[in-house]
Amino acid sequence: MAVDDSDPRVQAERKLIAAYKKVAATPEGKTVFEDLFSRFLWQDSRPHVQAGNATGVVFMDAQRMLLRYIDRKVNLTEDELMSSFSLPTEIKQGDPLDAGQSHRQFSEGYL
């Protein structure tokens, strides 16, 4: 399935990908990204897990997710990044609640 280049969301995403790749290609961008990745991507969360500090684990995971997002924008090809725009947006099998049996017939009297 092809990507619709006339869609404003597709155009905006292509611009965003180009901006990430442009920044990452500069010496300054490489230095900044290397620093961020070395400081945050590979943090050891085991002390937080052992201490039962769920907030610490979530905080570290959020930092990692941000860096994974940046890493994907920089290192994946544009075609790979744009593939989500070529997925079908319609469900072809219909609404599962209209398929005959639904959860409603089993829940009578419980509402």
> What is the residue extent of each domain of the chain?
8-85
> Per-residue pLDDT for 73 more than 90?
yes
pLDDT tens figures, 35-70: 998 888 777 888 888 888 889 888 888 888 999 999
Rg (CA), the chain: 22
Distance CA 17, CA 90 (A): 26
For 19, the 3-state DSSP assignment is helix
CB-count burial class (<10 Å; 0-12, 13-18, 19+) for 67: middle
What is the residue whose two structure tokens read 């290397």? 34
26-30, 41-45, 46-50, 107-111, range with the lowest pLDDT: 107-111
The average pLDDT across 89-103 equals: 58
pLDDT on residue 97: 61
pLDDT value at 110 more than 50 = no
